Structure 1
């Protein structure tokens, strides 16, 4: 398994809450990290493209028409309150007004800031494409609750994480946050959630996604957005992102 930042820094990172930095202008992205689905995506019989969700070669999950004129990519962190606010205020209008119609596809790529973030991401991704966006939404909705559990965990429990093998650290974090029970209430059996929390290959994938995000796009913070492969500046809110989508659609 690839090396991940030491756990002792996790509490400070989660508590800080500052997950968005002011993004500078960025050029077009390299084509090495594709937004294309790894499986064929058929048009939904209902005509509602938000029903189509598939994994992508970049490691994310994309909702919508793979041939949409505008391809939106979000880099988001599960412990980031700004990302939670975007989910609360932006996800519904984004889906209702742009994704359902097939005009915009929306890919979410996890950008992990700390081990707690990584554990939550493992749970969100546990059941694959069919429930990724639903679990992500639920984790953001309850973010304050499970982050508080982690922040208020007894110091001895937090310190004990340091002594665990890497394959066991995220399982322990998940139990501290109550993730297996959380997942079970949303259709993911406890045993499966625990297996996902111990999945070192998926941990490696998430770490690689971070590395790709930094090397390909110089991601400055979360949430960050790409439109048709270009990193947008200062678009951490729905109010600032929507005009960029309209401009891209009109172009």
Structure 2
């Protein structure tokens, strides 16, 4: 399947609203695991591995990053109990381009700082009259030059790699909504609050 066909299919992917208590389902595949190239937050030896599939234009993903992830960081990641790998699952062309800009960040620390800014300001840049210009301003504040920004949003091999990851997640791991998490292989959708997510992490 080529990039154009995948992009046409992006709007068909559901955005799952938060559900009380969260919904845990068996992992679609047992080999959902960290791999080379993953952007990871936390210590490598942490016993719980959280893999997140999110779209930078998804409001429910933004809510998770604003309201739930800070406590996950303080009580799990910073305590060495868990690590989080972020994988792009873009729901539209703008999310794909934002993913490319995030991927241009030189370190994991810079990557996570940048996506947190994008989630915090999602309503402003994603609904701007010129979203790419608004995205470029955020990138420049993060230290990315206009030249590197342009190269990122035009990086066709990079876009193809992100979309291949999208297809893998959809077809092999059963990801059909955002955000979707795997906690040591257990698939989690519809995280409504920190307490329900912490229960999943405790079980993992």
TM-score interval, smaller chain: 0.7 to 0.9
> Would the aligned equivalents of 1:63 and 1:105 in 2 still touch at CA under 8 Å?
yes
> Would the aligned equivalents of 1:76 and 1:222 in 2 still touch at CA under 8 Å?
yes
Give ranges in structure 1 of 5+ residues lacking alignment: 39-54, 154-172
Cα deviation for residue 148 of structure 1 reads 1.4
Over 3 Å counting, the alpha-carbon distance change for 1:93 and 1:24 in structure 2 is closer
Give the number of equivalent residue pairs: 198
Output the CA distance in 2 between the equivalents of 1:230 and 1:9.
Answer: 26
Output the CA distance in 1 between the equivalents of 2:9 and 2:174.
Answer: 22
> Would the aligned equivalents of 1:4 and 1:207 in 2 still touch at CA under 8 Å?
no
Partner residue, 1:223: 179
Partner residue, 1:103: 81
Partner residue, 1:27: 27
Output the CA distance in 1 between the equivalents of 2:62 and 2:189.
Answer: 19
Partner residue, 2:90: 112
Output the CA distance in 2 between the equivalents of 1:146 and 1:183.
Answer: 11
Output the CA distance in 2 between the equivalents of 1:7 and 1:64.
Answer: 32
The one of the two structures with greater contact order (alpha-carbon pairs below 8 A, sep at least 6) is 2
Partner residue, 1:143: 122
1:60-116 deviation per Cα after TM superposition (whole angstroms, max 9, x unaligned):
x11112222111111111010000000001121111111112110111111011101
Cα deviation for residue 237 of structure 1 reads 4.1
With normalisation by structure 2, the TM-score equals 0.85
> Would the aligned equivalents of 1:29 and 1:230 in 2 still touch at CA under 8 Å?
no
> Would the aligned equivalents of 1:123 and 1:183 in 2 still touch at CA under 8 Å?
yes
Output the CA distance in 2 between the equivalents of 1:115 and 1:89.
Answer: 26
> Would the aligned equivalents of 2:179 and 2:190 in 1 still touch at CA under 8 Å?
no
Output the CA distance in 2 between the equivalents of 1:229 and 1:6.
Answer: 26
With normalisation by structure 1, the TM-score equals 0.70
Q: Rg larger in 1 or in 2?
A: 1
- SS at the partner of 2:68? helix
1:95-138 deviation per Cα after TM superposition (whole angstroms, max 9, x unaligned):
11111121101111110111011011111111142411011001
